Structure 1
Amino acid sequence: MSARFDLRAEVTAEGRREALRLRLALGMGAVVAAAAVALLGLSGWFITAAALAGAAGTATAMAFNYLVPSAAIRLFAILRTGARYVERVAGHEAALNAVARLRPRLFLALTHRPPEAALGLSAGEAASRLVEDVEALQTLYIRRPAPAALIAGAGLSLVLAAAAHPFAALGIGGTMALAMLGLHWLGRRVAPAGAAVQTASGQLKARLSVVAAAAPELRAYGLEAWAAADAATVADRLDTARRAQAAAEGAVVAWQTTVTGLAAVGGLVGATLGGASLPMAALAALVGVTGVEAAVGLAQAVLQRGAAEAGLDRLQALADPGAERDPGDPTLAPDGAALELGWTAAALAPPARLALVGPSGCGKTSWVERLLGLRPPLAGEHLLGGVARERLTRQAGLDLFAYAAQDIRLFDSTVRENLALADPAASDTALWVALEDAGLATRFRAAPLGLDTPVGLNGGALSGGERRRLGLARAYLRRAPWLVLDEPTEGLDRDTERLVLARLDQRLRERRQGLILITHSAAAATLCDQIAGVTGRDAAGRLQVALRAVRRARSPA
């Protein structure tokens, strides 16, 4: 069994890997907060003191020392700006590096789930989680300086306010506590609203992907207006969720504004009641503002961490292989490539060829998918190399097969990159040979970009027959004892089918490769030594077949 993918442990490990940048961001965050408090407090004191000195007369004004405060103000301004730049660069670089490494590992964990679970996830929901939820993880790194900023900013704010008068520090400290309590309460409204937006966004993406895939059919039946209205209904749910989120965030902003004003008033009133001078009272008022900003920054970090934690839970559920992830025994391996199918008189071994024929829906494709491990195997249905399929891991079984499914999936990329999925190390010569055997080499040699010709979204730039043959060429590139093809000539004209089958027959002879073929084509079935006529399924889902041997012609023509 594959080990469980622990996303929280991965996030922690990435934090350790980026420890140097994160420590730098934390230190600079503390410098930013302290410099901001000192800058605003000193500015308030300096402006007020200078105004009073000027009002007191020329002699007092001339005696007023403005050089030291103004130089200190410049110093704090430079410190705040420089430290902010370093903190943002270091924190965001650490977050982006960590997420860039986490995303492919998360995608790999998703591919290791049981195929029925992974393929049951809608494209829109998967995209929403792998994009929005992964991006939300950045806040776990970016907001790490918040506690240090609170300690430095709020602590210095209280110290300076106490220098004006302890009453001022008491008023500001109480306001900070009130700010954080209020934001914690409001956060209970923000988090569900954000989750609703995330869910609605995934639903809209899923619906739009379905509509886009069915665009030709919708046009053919004149259903464009219905599709637009259907998508608009889902979009309305997203808009409603976003309005609720905006309202919740607006309440947070309103509360922040309120407590900031209260901090300024509390510092000013406390200093005045304590008999502090006007410059010191101004200092107390302004350091109260920056102190609350530091407290609010921590509260926001806590709120965003809640959203990130929710994203972590969703991503962990996405990647968790679950209890049924792989029932095979990793210590077992097939002894050879012989197949025992229960309804064959003897084991089949390459270069044997078996065709499965029968009406649509009788279970042929499901049988093949169980053989390959793409569906949970039935007990005793298949033996691979003398070992029951259910005792083998999925990978142990997949190593025996090269598979071209009936429903071909292509990436929005080039011919070369779609073929490279089967063999990333394949040379251009091998790619052209596979295309030649699939009857596609002439098509792409005539294209200006050759192997670098783009195929479009899910092969949209190709015809249906070209998509099918490109999937066939991809299966040809995989080195495996058995070639498994599901309706490889469906949708092809007679001449193209004859060409593809002739080259397939020649390829199998040269490579001594076995063939398992699902087909409704009589011409394709003549390639095989045995034909399994599927008549139905028993109560357990096993195929019921009428097996017969055939005399294969030298050529399918």
Structure 2
Amino acid sequence: MKRRSPIDAFLRDQARRRHGDLAIAAISGAAWGTAATLMLGLSGWFLAGAAMAGVAGLVAVQAFNYLLPSAGLRAFAIVRTVGRYGERFFSHRAALHALAALRPALFAGIAALPPGRALALSSGEASARLVQDVDAVETLFVRRSSAWTAAASTLAGAGAIFLASPPAAAFFITGMAAQVLALRSMGAALTAAPSAEQLTAAGRLKDALGAYVPAVAELRCFGLMEQAIDAVMARDEELSAAVRRRRDADAMLDLVQAVLAGLTLVGVAALSADASLPLAALAVLCAFAGLEGIAGLVHASREQGGASTAIARLNATISDPVGPDMAESKDRARLVGRLQIDGLALRPGERLALVGPAGAGKTTLMEALVGLRAAPPERLLIDDRPVELDHPGWARALFAYAPQDAQLLTGSVADNLRLGAPDADEAALWQALSDAQLQARIMQLPHGLHTWIGDGGEVLSGGERRRLALARALLRPAPWLLLDEPTEGLDPATEAAVVAALDERLCRTGQGLVLISHRRAPLRLTPLQIDVRGHQSASKRQAP
């Protein structure tokens, strides 16, 4: 049974939502295709007729009616211009609205992936799918009206050519259909593989740039800039090779299209040879204009292979691109917050430290609580339910989390803080900064809470970035606070101040705490400890 395609379902839904724009684009496309074909055919008839009248003598010239053909040409020109503008405007508007809805849905789908799949997707590959793959899908919307344009142009051209030669009209329709069918089948066969290689290579190049650009200082210090440049260039060459293979496929399709188009024109001209010169000119120029009319459909046919590849990659990335997992919000109301870790049951408001040497699995266990990694069987229970029995992150509403390597947004201080509480007012932001011992530093910044802190918080020091992440976690209204090395990199005085403020806040709010730290000062906050080595369930009460 064929797997349901969430991207196809999404695009169908967007087509229903944008049916007004798409309908206007289709009507406009049919109008400009018809007008363009008849305008060029009429201009051929007009010029040939005028030439024959001129050769026939003065009487024929005076009898030749040039007003009606010239008026017709102007009318067709106006319809063509308005129709082409309308087709472009409304088709692109529909496409841009659809893509504007698709990218956030894809981002939400990627964020909701199971931990194993999410961790396997690199940032460069995710970026490539959100940008290049979505752009490849754009043609499916922009070119939806091209079928109407092609049909109208073909029918209008065939009708005009029929006046010169019915067999020529039949040959014209056959030639037009042959181009579309041949290029559609050949396009999918020739472009699918190089398109996939191009998209994959673009992701690898972004991965390389993302890995080496942040490490420029270290690369310079260790004299490794040349090796880094070589690694990036190798990825760039892979992308260039994939682009060349795609261009080779395009060149082959161009050759096939040129041959079929040339045969169509030659056939129409040959079959219309017995007609009068004006009608023969009309037939040939209508056939030529018809080739322009099907250009959009031919282009869409040629791009079908790349679009299909992009859709397959997007389908493989997500399960259902409809937005964030709604199960979390449904579970929120019925969660109590009873927590059990390695057999130790914690009451609300209690404080626990996960201890053990580096590599024992402390961070992995904490990440499993919030659904960032697969939960180990039977080690974590929430409200007496093993965490692994439900979807990842099903109880995330219970936790405010400050990871060891917290990421900061490229934005202002307030932007980063409000990740923890989007509706928090400035008083709450300042209180969280005060509890994280960062208030004085932020007040010194040029615009306070609204100061731009650069890419990844580069305006701040490492310790300040860590405390900003702590303040963000403190803002989140959750019964349990999860902190992974919250004072790492702080001097003893600052660490003592942070620990004292954190103790005061926990007493004030009644929040529970699950802590990871290799430093003594934070561990004084936690009367309970669990040694996670070897998955052993050993707990003890910390001495004061």
TM bracket, shorter-chain basis:
over 0.9
Corresponding residue of 1:25? 25
Asked if the contact 2:342–2:537 (Cα under 8 Å) also holds between the matched residues in 1, the reply is no
The CA deviation string for residues 497-529 of structure 1, in whole angstroms up to 9 with x for no partner, is 111111111111111111111110011111211
CA distance in 2, matches of 1:332, 1:471: 24
Q: 1:479 aligns with which of 477, 480, 490?
A: 477
- Equivalent position amino acid for 1:550 in 2: Q
Asked if the contact 2:29–2:87 (Cα under 8 Å) also holds between the matched residues in 1, the reply is yes
Asked if the contact 2:432–2:474 (Cα under 8 Å) also holds between the matched residues in 1, the reply is yes
The residue correspondences of 1:410-425 to structure 2 (distance < 5 A) are 410-425=408-423
CA distance in 2, matches of 1:321, 1:42: 52
The CA deviation string for residues 34-84 of structure 1, in whole angstroms up to 9 with x for no partner, is 111101100111111111111121111111111110110111011000110
- 1:229–1:318: structure 2 CA closer, same or farther, 3 Å change rule? same
CA distance in 2, matches of 1:24, 1:435: 54
Corresponding residue of 1:457? 455
CA distance in 2, matches of 1:262, 1:310: 32
> What TM-score, normalized to structure 2?
0.93
* Worse overlay, 394-403 or 226-235: 394-403
Structure 1 residue 333 displacement after superposition? 8.0
The CA deviation string for residues 397-426 of structure 1, in whole angstroms up to 9 with x for no partner, is 212211111111112111111111111000
Asked if the contact 1:334–1:384 (Cα under 8 Å) also holds between the matched residues in 2, the reply is no
Asked if the contact 2:25–2:90 (Cα under 8 Å) also holds between the matched residues in 1, the reply is yes
Structure 1 residue 545 displacement after superposition? 5.2
Structure 1 residue 395 displacement after superposition? 4.2
Structure 1 residue 131 displacement after superposition? 1.1
Q: 1:522 aligns with which of 515, 520, 523?
A: 520
- 1:128–1:260: structure 2 CA closer, same or farther, 3 Å change rule? same
SS in 2 for 1:138: helix
- 1:77–1:229: structure 2 CA closer, same or farther, 3 Å change rule? same
Structure 1 residue 393 displacement after superposition? 4.5
The residue correspondences of 1:2-401 to structure 2 (distance < 5 A) are 6-187=6-187, 188-272=189-273, 275-320=274-319, 336-344=336-344, 347-401=345-399
Structure 1 residue 327 displacement after superposition? 12
Question: 1:466 and 2:464 equivalent?
Answer: yes
CA distance in 2, matches of 1:488, 1:152: 68
Structure 1 residue 307 displacement after superposition? 2.5
SS in 2 for 1:214: helix
- 1:373–1:196: structure 2 CA closer, same or farther, 3 Å change rule? closer
Asked if the contact 2:37–2:293 (Cα under 8 Å) also holds between the matched residues in 1, the reply is no
Structure 1 residue 334 displacement after superposition? 6.8
- Mind listing any 5+ residue stretches in structure 2 that lack a counterpart? none
CA distance in 2, matches of 1:22, 1:147: 12
CA distance in 2, matches of 1:342, 1:5: 40
Asked if the contact 1:332–1:392 (Cα under 8 Å) also holds between the matched residues in 2, the reply is no
Question: 1:547 and 2:530 equivalent?
Answer: no
SS in 2 for 1:548: strand
CA distance in 2, matches of 1:333, 1:123: 34
Asked if the contact 1:422–1:475 (Cα under 8 Å) also holds between the matched residues in 2, the reply is yes
- Mind listing any 5+ residue stretches in structure 1 that lack a counterpart? 538-542, 553-557
Structure 1 residue 296 displacement after superposition? 4.1
CA distance in 1, matches of 2:428, 2:513: 20
Corresponding residue of 1:531? 529
Structure 1 residue 254 displacement after superposition? 3.4
SS in 2 for 1:532: strand
Structure 1 residue 531 displacement after superposition? 2.7
Corresponding residue of 1:432? 430
- 1:461–1:286: structure 2 CA closer, same or farther, 3 Å change rule? same
Asked if the contact 2:410–2:456 (Cα under 8 Å) also holds between the matched residues in 1, the reply is yes
CA distance in 1, matches of 2:338, 2:145: 61
* Worse overlay, 457-466 or 201-210: 457-466
* Worse overlay, 439-448 or 73-82: 439-448
- 1:335–1:125: structure 2 CA closer, same or farther, 3 Å change rule? closer
Corresponding residue of 1:540? none
The CA deviation string for residues 189-230 of structure 1, in whole angstroms up to 9 with x for no partner, is 233222221111111111111112322321221111110010
Asked if the contact 1:197–1:238 (Cα under 8 Å) also holds between the matched residues in 2, the reply is yes
Please tell me the root mean square deviation across aligned C-alpha atoms, in Å. 2.4
Structure 1 residue 286 displacement after superposition? 0.8
The CA deviation string for residues 239-260 of structure 1, in whole angstroms up to 9 with x for no partner, is 1111122222223333333333
Asked if the contact 1:334–1:396 (Cα under 8 Å) also holds between the matched residues in 2, the reply is no
> What TM-score, normalized to structure 1?
0.91
Asked if the contact 1:334–1:387 (Cα under 8 Å) also holds between the matched residues in 2, the reply is no
Asked if the contact 2:201–2:242 (Cα under 8 Å) also holds between the matched residues in 1, the reply is yes
- Equivalent position amino acid for 2:252 in 1: A
- 1:170–1:343: structure 2 CA closer, same or farther, 3 Å change rule? closer
SS in 1 for 2:515: strand
SS in 2 for 1:320: coil
CA distance in 1, matches of 2:165, 2:320: 61
* Worse overlay, 523-532 or 35-44: 523-532
Kindly tell me the number of residue pairs found equivalent between the two proteins. 537
